[in-house]
Structures are given as structure tokens and as C-alpha cells.
Amino acid sequence: MPSPRPADLFFACVPLVLASASPRRQDFLARLGLQFQVAPADIDETLHADESPEPFARRMAAAKAELVARDRPDACVIGADTVVALDGTVFGKPRDPDDALAILQTLRGRTHQVITGVAVVCPARGIDEVFTVSSEVSFAAFPDDILRAYIATGEPMDKAGAYAIQGRGAFLVRAIAGSCSNVVGLPVHDLVAVLLHHRLVRVAPVEQRRSSDHPLP
């Protein structure tokens, strides 16, 4: 395994693989100092009839991690899937601008749930843990012309729920209850807690994390 670098907060005790192409999830892991590989999983993401949002997110995360783990039994594979839900309905990525507008109109002025399923699979250590984290997001009631202007930026088109809280879509959000990183796509606190519990990552030695802004005497 690679040695911790000076700016690393954590380092992996086993090879880490992220079963996701999401730049946002990659950024979260990179900010922690974790070195990892990316292996997106191509799975069927069809919602089953009468399947509620939380079980769906769990099933998707597990399916992604398990698929990648078949080829990487030596590694710790992290799978994740984030869904936006309101009144039991799951809102995925919009099909087109009209669909994006319909989604944002439905969410407008109401509080919805953002649920992320996370799977941590490490066959070599017999670890197969799946969990979900839910946050509540309250939208302001913006008129259609503003929603259309936001959609015209193109940002909503590849985002579940047709908005990106870490981008221009932040203006839509009036309040958040729960994990902010979960709304972006990865509940970082909960994931790190699981990785530490299973000793898949460790804290980098303090002496190796000297900051140029705060040098040690």
C-alpha cells in the first residue's frame, strides 16, 4: 500500500475502489487524502414495482459494489447510490428539460428526502456492509421562469432530482436537516466511521501532516 502523503488525513489499509463515476464522490474521498481507483459499475437501475426509496438506494449501492468486487476480491469496494424522494416517489435524472421542469415544480416549496445507499464490500476480509443515510431538503417556491432559467444552464440534466446543491442549484434550497455531504452524493461522516470500524482506513500520523500554513516549531 502507498505510504501516507504529507497532506493526507487518512490512508487506506487495503486497496480502495470506488464503484462510481461521480466526480463529487471522487472529490470527497480525495479530500480525505485517500488514494483509490475508480471502476464504475454498469447495472440495471430500474425501480421495482412497489419498491420504496430507501430499499431501492440500498439495492443499487450493493449491486454496484458487489459487481466490481467480483473482479477485485483483494480490495475494499465502495458503492453508492443517491435518490431524491417525495411522498414515496423516486425522482431520478430528468429525461429532458420538460421533465426537469416537472420535477422542480413538484419539489418547489416542499421538503423532500435525499437518500444515499452505501455499500462497503471487502471479500478478502469478509466485510459486506450496506447502510443508508437520509437528509431532508426544503425548497423555496421560485416561479417557473426562474426554474426554466436554471434548467437552461444544463446543470440539472445529469442530477437526481434535477438540481445540484453544490452548484448553481444551491439557490433553490431554503434549509437542510441532516448530512450536507449526503445531499451532494456521499455521507462522508458515516462512510468514514464504517471504514475506521472495519480497520480499512487509518488516520495518518500527525507528524506526516505538517501544513505549510501551520509549520511545527
Separation of alpha carbons 111 and 173, rounded Å: 10
C-alpha cell at 95: 429525461
The span from the first CA to the last CA of the chain, in angstroms, equals 30
Provide the pairing of β-strand 111-122 with 89-91: unpaired
Separation of alpha carbons 27 and 174, rounded Å: 25
CB 134 within 8 A of CB 181: no
Question: For residue 65, what are the contacts with CB-CB under 8 A and spacing of at least 6?
Answer: 19, 41, 77, 78, 79, 119, 120, 121
Instruction: Measure the CA angle with vertex 24, ends 19 and 28; round to 5°.
Output: 85
| Annotated active-site residue in 8, 50, 71, 81 | 81
Q: Verify whether residue 190 is a known catalytic residue.
A: no
CB 48 within 8 A of CB 29: no
Catalytic residues: 81
